[in-house]
Amino acid sequence: SLFGLPDQAPHERVLLAADPQTGLKAILAVHSTARGPAFGGCRFWTYDNELAALNDALRLSQGMSLKNALAQLPFGGGKAVIIKPAGHFDRPALFAAFGRAVQSLDGAYITAEDVGTTTADMLGMQAHTQYVSGIPRAGAFGGDPSPKTAYGVFVSIDEGVKRVLGRSSLDGVRVALQGLGAVGWHLAEYLHKAGAKLVVTDVDAAKVQRAQEQFGAVAVATSDILAADVDVLAPCALGAVLNQQSIASLKARLIAGAANNQLATAADGDALHARGITYLPDYLVNAGGIISVAREFRNEGEEQAVMTEVGLIRGRVAELLERVRASGATPAREADAWARSLLVKPAA
Ligand code: NAD
């Protein structure tokens, strides 16, 4: 283990970037370049301490390797974490310094949006590195990947509902949504259109109220969402929400959501399985965003083609459930083994 941190697979490279002038403190983690340059977003977040930030970067970066492999992208896995400075800071200057750090890796790592960063941050960084994606462009495909992520989660839920719950459609299926942010909101729209009944929560009361008005959603307290009496749970806010404590009280039979690293530990995947709950791994179902920014980066983007590629996640969910049936393994362990078998250079 690295610095005594649990569950950390070896990384190819980890850059600790500091710039006293702007207050930048960042970790750029390159887990694997076996499939190609490491591609993964940049998180801008407040951490209790620097070790917690390192732990987050390493976990997220490993997850990107698995995500990019299962999505069959010609990219490896990496992720960056910028520790949000306490007090006042100059945001454009900070992201410019981060852009220079990305550039110093000479293309081994390509960045994009993640929690706490915006398309404007990516745009500003463009003057300092060419290894950035997720930027709106006039007359060309690009920009915020969140709607694509939401679409991938939606098709995953739809496929899971049919295969796991034996329902013919989402009509009347009860879905609990934790987080109505960039992804969660679009997901709510898709689910509502398909006839699902939504139970929602967010720390932002205005978003909850909008969901009540627009989707007829039932609102619950943030502390009650995981145990809501629903068919499906879609975590779209934070990581590590599936843990020893929460798993005991879950009522949903199917879990599929956008949040990265939903399982607190690998053992929690086993605990879900033991309770008869099917967990569709986050890195399988939330790959829509990386598919979008990867297409954009390769200048191959076109809205309909990207949506079609994101839609392929449905078939991968079906394949995973078939593999699970054949092997008897949990979906989490089966997906992990499947993804790791793909951590090799893709055929040209
Ligand atoms: P976001 O910041 O736009 O939305 C998160 C939402 O969760 C916000 O509305 C926030 O108020 C809410 N929230 C925070 N704490 C909460 C709590 N305790 N209970 C309920 N709600 C809470 O982020 P996003 O882009 O929508 O991403 C959501 C998750 O999906 C993140 O974990 C992110 O890493 C993951 N993800 C996002 C993308 C993408 O394309 N944006 C792609 C892959 C994975």
Nearest CA to ligand 1 atom 12: 179
Q: Name the 3-class secondary structure at 241.
A: coil
| CA-257 nearest atom, ligand 1 | 30
Nearest CA to ligand 1 atom 9: 181
Q: How far is the CA of 233 from the centre of ligand 1 (A)?
A: 15
The two domains 13-67+75-125 and 146-286+316-341 share their CATH topology (first three levels equal)? yes
Tokens of 130: 């060419």
The answer, yes or no, to whether any atom of ligand 1 lies below 6 A from the CB of 291, is: no
How would you class 343 by CB atoms within 10 Å of its CB: exposed for 0-12, middle for 13-18, buried for 19 or more?
middle
Superfamily of domain 13-67+75-125: Leucine Dehydrogenase, chain A, domain 1 (3.40.50.10860)
Residue in 120, 117, 193, 110 with CA at minimum distance from that of residue 150: 193
Active-site residue 79, yes or no?
Answer: yes
The answer, yes or no, to whether any atom of ligand 1 lies below 6 A from the CB of 224, is: no
Q: How far is the CA of 311 from the centre of ligand 1 (A)?
A: 21
Sequence length of the chain is: 348
* 237, 178 Cβ separation under 8 angstroms: yes
Query: What is the chain's percent helix, strand, coil content, to nearest 5?
Result: 45, 15, 40
The span from the CA of 27 to the CA of 57, in Å, is: 7
| CA-238 nearest atom, ligand 1 | 32
ipTM entry: 0.99
* 247, 192 Cβ separation under 8 angstroms: no
Q: Which of 67, 79, 197, 207 is catalytic?
A: 79
Contacts of residue 339, Cβ cutoff 8 Å, sequence gap at least 6: 65, 66, 67, 69, 70, 283
The residue ranges of every structural domain in the chain are: 13-67+75-125, 146-286+316-341
The span from the CA of 71 to the CA of 287, in Å, is: 7
The answer, yes or no, to whether any atom of ligand 1 lies below 6 A from the CB of 122, is: no
Q: How far is the CA of 121 from the centre of ligand 1 (A)?
A: 17
The span from the CA of 55 to the CA of 262, in Å, is: 15
> What global pTM score does this model have?
0.96
Helices (H), the chain: 50-70, 91-104, 119-125, 146-163, 182-193, 205-215, 244-247, 266-274, 282-285, 288-297, 303-311, 313-327, 331-341
The answer, yes or no, to whether any atom of ligand 1 lies below 6 A from the CB of 234, is: no
Q: How far is the CA of 54 from the centre of ligand 1 (A)?
A: 20
The span from the CA of 279 to the CA of 52, in Å, is: 26
Place of tokens 């990219």: 75
pLDDT in tens, the chain (348 residues): 667 776 667 899 999 999 999 999 999 999 999 999 999 999 999 999 999 999 999 999 999 999 999 999 999 999 999 999 999 999 999 999 999 999 999 999 999 999 999 999 999 999 999 999 999 988 889 999 999 999 999 999 999 999 999 999 999 999 999 999 999 999 999 999 999 999 999 999 999 999 999 999 999 999 999 999 999 999 999 899 999 999 999 999 999 999 999 999 999 999 999 999 999 999 999 999 999 999 999 998 789 999 999 999 999 999 999 999 999 999 999 999 999 999 998 887
Contacts of residue 219, Cβ cutoff 8 Å, sequence gap at least 6: 199, 200, 201, 208, 209, 211, 212
The answer, yes or no, to whether any atom of ligand 1 lies below 6 A from the CB of 43, is: no
Nearest CA to ligand 1 atom 39: 146
Q: Count the alpha carbons within 13 Å of 150 in the hemisphere toward its beta carbon.
A: 20
* Concatenated DSSP letters of 291-315: HHHHHHHTT---HHHHHHHHHTHHH
Place of tokens 């945001």: 91
Nearest CA to ligand 1 atom 32: 259
Superfamily of domain 146-286+316-341: NAD(P)-binding Rossmann-like Domain (3.40.50.720)
